[in-house]
Structure 1
Amino acid sequence: MNDAHFHLAVNHLPIIIPIVGLLVMLGGFITRSAVVKRTAYCIFILGALCTIPAAVSGEGAEEVVEHLNIADHHIIHEHEEVAETFILCSYLLGGLALLGLWANIKRKTFSSAISIVTIVFSLVVLFLGSNAATTGGEIRHTEIRNDSGGDTHDDEHEDHNDDH
C-alpha cells in the first residue's frame, strides 16, 4: 500500500464520523438523553482523532500523484489549502466535544449551550469536509472539475417531436 492508497483509505473517516456524531447528538436532543449526548461527544472526538492519519498521509499522497503526473499542481494545492482549514476545524470540534463531554458528565449549567454550539459547529465542519472531499476528488476525477470544459448537456436527450 503506497501513501496515496493509505490516504484514500483513511480520508473518508473524518467526514463520515462527524455525520454520525451529528445524528446521534440530534437523537440526544430528541430523547433528552445525557448518555446519548455523551456518546455523540465521543463520536466527535473519534472523528477528530481520525483526522490525524488523513492529514499526515496527505503529503505522501501528493508526492505519488505528482510523480504520476495525473493532475495539475494548482488542483493539488487547492485541495491542500481547503483540507488544512477542514483539519483545523475538525480538531477544534474534537476539543469542543471534549469540553462538552466534561460539562455533561459534571452536569454544568452551560452543558446544553455547548451541545447546541457543537451541533452548529459540526455543520460548519461537515461543510468544510465536503469542500475538502470535492477538491480531493477533482485531483483524479476530471469530470467533476469546474474547468473541465465538458458540456453537461447530453445530445441524446434533446426534445423531439414524436407526433407522427
Structure 2
Amino acid sequence: MNEVHFHLAVTHLPIIFTIVGIIVLVTGLISKSEAVKRTAYLIFSIGALTSIAAMTSGEGSEDIVENIDGINESFIETHEEAAELFSILTYILGGLSLIGLWVSFKQITFLKTISIITLLFAFVALFFGIQTGTTGGEIRHTEIRSDPNNATLNNNYREENEND
C-alpha cells in the first residue's frame, strides 16, 4: 500500500465520523440520553484523529499524484486548501466534544447548550468536509467537475474528434 492508497483509505473517515456523530448526537438530544450524547462526543473525537491521518498522508499522496499525466496542479491546490480548513474544523469539533464529555460527566448547568453548540458546529464542519471530498474527487474524476472545459478527458475527446 503506497501513500496514495493509504490517503484514499483514510480520507473519507473524517467525513463519515462527522455524519455518524451528528446522527448520534441528534438521537441523544431527542431521547435526552447523556450516554448517547457521550457516544457522539467520542465519535467526533475519533473523527478528529482520523483527520490527522488524512492530512499527514496527503503530502505524500500529492507528491505521487502530481506526476501523473493529465493531473492539473490547481485541482490539487484547491483540495489541499479545503482539506486544511476542514481539518482545523474537525480538530475544533474534537475539542468541543471533549468539553462536552467533561460537562456531561460533571453535570454542569450548560449541558444542553454545549450539545447544541457542538451539533451546530458539526454541521458547519460537515459542510466543509463535503467541499473537501468534492475537491479531492475532482483531481481524478473529471466527470464531477463543475466546469466541463477543465475536464482533461473531455478536452482529449474533443481534440480527437476535431482531427477526424
Q: Same fold (TM over 0.5)?
A: yes
Q: Which runs of 4+ in 1 moved over 4 A?
A: none
Are residue 112 (structure 1) and residue 108 (structure 2) matched? Answer: no
Task: Give the drift of 1:70.
Answer: 3.3
Counterpart of 2:89, as a letter, is C
Give the match for residue 156 of structure 1.
none
What is the percent sequence identity of the aligned residues? 54
1:99 is matched with 99
C-alpha RMSD over aligned residues = 1.2
Amino acid at match of 2:32: R
What is the correspondence of 1:64-143 to structure 2 with a 5 Å cutoff?
A: 64-143=64-143
Task: Flag structure 1 segments of 5+ consecutive residues without an equivalent.
Answer: 152-164
Equivalent runs, 1:124-163 vs 2, <5 Å: 124-149=124-149
TM-score by length of 2: 0.89
Residue 8 of structure 1 pairs with residue 11 of structure 2: no
Alignment of 1:19-30 (within 5 A): 19-30=19-30
Q: Aligned partners of 1:8 and 1:130: how far apart in 2?
A: 15
Q: When you count helix as a share of all residues, which structure comes out higher?
A: 2
Alignment deviations for residues 84-126 of structure 1 (CA, whole Å, 9 cap, x no partner) = 0000000000000000000011001111111000000000010
Write the letter of the residue equivalent to 2:4: A
Task: Please give the secondary structure, in 1, of the residue aligned with 2:146.
Answer: coil
Structure 2's unaligned 5+ residue stretches are 155-164
Equivalent AA in structure 2 for residue 83 of structure 1: A
Larger Rg: 1
2:146, 2:42 → 1: CA distance? Answer: 37
